[in-house]
Structure formats: structure tokens, C-alpha cells
Copies of this chain bind each other. A is one copy, B any other.
Amino acid sequence: MTAADSAALHAADGSTGPDATARAASPHTPHADEVITSWTVAREAGVSQSTVSRALRADPRVREQTRQRVEDAARRLGYVPNSLASSLASRSGRTVGVVVSDLTNPFFPSLLSPIHDELQLMGYRVVLFAERTDIPSGQDALNRLLDRSIDGVLVTTATLRSPLADTLRMRGLPLVLLNRYIDGLDVDRVISDNRGGAVAGARHLLELGHRRIGVVRGPSNTSTSRDRMAGLQDALHAEDIALDAALVREGSYSHQSGYQHTRDLLRLADPPTAILCGNDIVAFGAIDAARSLDVRVPQDVSILGFDDVPMASWEVFRLTTVSQPFEEMATAAARMLAERIDQHVEIGPGREQIFPATLVKRSTVGPPRS
């Protein structure tokens, strides 16, 4: 999204505000459809078009008095600079593309909010590239990223071996990977310690006495899912316990996947006593599945999530999960990208920032029934 905030727009209800310009404009714009450009403003202010351009961008070289005159004229006319022309001429629209997945998964809005806020603070607008499975237009989406309307890209849904990031990099587009990374691709990235977080989560289950641990993991082509699995294995190995392959299911990061796979697991002759879920939305599906089978959580089965989205703390869920510091991660990624775009940073090796992932104990994990 060129996510902007219209909060203040609405907040301005009934006051002078956005509409003041429009009102003031009418006496000077007899024809409503007459386009107002910097030339119009120049004429009105009695200066050259170049001076208008400079004044409005607060170029220190223009005299304060002149700037004032230009700004007044611009306000009277309700002038808004044409961003297309300005971006074309300056070769930058201060616009960043953010690639996210299905917004229906609360994880992405949670990550997006801080990204948007930070980027906006730095003067960038953000255009959202939302993954949709039902409309096939990959080349289209890629082209929109490469059509010069975007100055840099934040990818939150990188898939292992996906050519997207590599293509963008070859095209010279500043790029930062957030949340998921790609093996052997030397670009900036901001991730959390998925492996460590999974170790903490798994250990918690083991300490409570769980031995038959089920898993509804995310897609194996994502670094997050792979690293979380690795963390689970680490914790298991430390206790000399083997993961029962029959209890491991792979699915998408969705409620549907959590629901279906958990139902399958719970209907096994010898069901797991705890289920480690790929992320929170999967865990919500798992909780739903348990409920649909009258299996109590955590008395009959423990459920562990990953992410700690806001919903996780709702009373109906009180999900025990591994928390990722969304805000800090988003902020760090936004800053990294801005640095690359603003050329403060040499084209150099990819930088990496790893944030801790910590266990948050709530009410969906307990000791196994014995």
C-alpha cells in the first residue's frame, strides 16, 4: 500500500482543514477542471516556475520572503505538485514496495503497521504488494516492482529458492528481506531467532513431560518453518528423543491448515500430547480443531504457537507462543532499506540483524495427561 493515514483526514471533521484549500481555490479557479501546475503558481506569485519548484521544496537558496509569497499563491490555488512529474524528473518518488502475503493472516497486518509507520516517518510512501493465490500474474507483479515507481523493496514473504529477490537485486533495486531469508543470497535481512525460539518452546513442552509431540509446520520452502523445525530437533536431540515422523504434518500458514492437520493428528490411535504449530494462525486452527472434537486444551492436548500476534492474548485463546518483536524488526528493516536507498550505504555485503524470539507462557500448554 501506499499506505497513508487518513486518520487526521477524518479527525478534521467539520473544522477548517483539508477543505479550506478547496474553498479558497474556487475564486481563482473558474474552471474546475483547469489543471493547476507550477506555472499557474508562478504566474500568481509573480516569479519563475523554477523558483516555485525550489520554494515549495524549501530550498535554502530562496529568500524567505519569496518562499512565503509562493506558498501563499500555492495555497490560494489549492496547488498540489504532480508527483508523477516530480518523481520522473528527480528519479525518486520516495516510494517503497512491501511484499506481504495474504492480509487475512493477522501476522502481516501486525508486521505491516510498524513498517508503514516508520517508513512514513522517514518520508516514504509504501505500496503494498499483497500475495494472492487466486490471480496469476507473476510477471505483472514483478514488472510493477521494476517500473520505476518503486525505489526499494521490503520482502516479508521470501521463499527459499524464489528468484524474486535475486532478480530485484540484479536490477539494482535496494532490497531488504524481513522475516524470511533466502539461503546464499547476500542481501540485507532482518529476522528473528526462529531456531532459538523453537528451542525454547520445545524445551518448555519437554520439561512438562511431553514426549509424543506433534507438529503442524509451515511450508518447507520458507526459512522460518525450516529454522523452527531445526530448533525443535535441537531440543529433542538434547534429550535424546526422536521425532515421530508420523506426527509431523506440513501445511500452509493458515487457520485451515492448522484445523485440518490437527484434526488428523488428534484422531490418531495414539495422538500426540502436544502440538507445536508453525505459527499463531495455525495454532488458532489447532485450537478450533480440538474444540470440534471435544478435546480440551491444555488438559488433553497442549498447543504452542509462534509469532505472538495481538489475538494470541485474547481470552478465548490465551495462546502460549513464541514472541517475535514485530515492531523492532519492522523498524530495523525500514531503516536498513532507507539507508540503502539514500545511498548512505555502499553497495556492499548484505547486513543481518537477528532479534531474539522469546517464549510467552499463557494457557494452552500444560503437562500431558498421564
Contacts and interface: CB of A to CB of B under 8 A. Distances in A.
Interface stretch (A45-53, A120-128, A241-249): A120-128
Contact of A109 (B12, B22, B103): B103
A53 to B, nearest CB: 15
Contact of A314 (B117, B221, B288, B315): B288
A83 B55 CA distance: 27
Contact of A1 (B18, B128, B145, B162): B128
A354 interface: no
Contacts of A134: 7, 117
Interface stretch (A135-143, A191-199, A208-216, A230-238): A135-143
A36 to B, nearest CB: 10
Specify how many copies of this chain sit in the oligomer.
2
B9 A82 contact: no
A109 to B, nearest CB: 4
A6 interface: yes
A7 B82 contact: no
Contacts of A32: 170, 172
A104 interface: yes
B8 A127 contact: no
Given A139-B8, A148-B83, A288-B316, A3 B130 contact: yes
A133 B11 CA distance: 9
A129 B6 contact: yes
B133 A7 contact: yes
A207 interface: no
Interface stretch (A84-92, A269-277, A298-306, A335-343): A84-92
A226 B251 CA distance: 43
A255 B314 contact: yes
A2 B1 contact: yes
Interface string A1-25: 1111111111111100111011000
A212 B22 CA distance: 48
B132 A7 contact: yes
A113 interface: yes
B291 A163 contact: no
A171 B103 CA distance: 32
Nearest to A32: B172
A223 interface: no
Contact of A125 (B8, B17, B144): B144
Contacts of A240: none
A310 to B, nearest CB: 7
Given A1-B1, A5-B129, A161 B13 contact: yes
B6 A149 contact: no
A149 B87 CA distance: 10
A317 B255 CA distance: 14
A103 B18 CA distance: 24
15 contacts: A2-B144, A4-B140, A4-B144, A5-B141, A8-B140, A9-B164, A10-B162, A11-B136, A18-B139, A18-B163, A81-B147, A85-B88, A106-B106, A116-B132, A316-B316
Given A22-B167, A284-B316, 15 more contacts: A1-B127, A2-B127, A2-B144, A4-B129, A5-B129, A6-B99, A7-B132, A9-B162, A9-B164, A18-B163, A85-B148, A103-B103, A104-B110, A113-B132, A127-B127
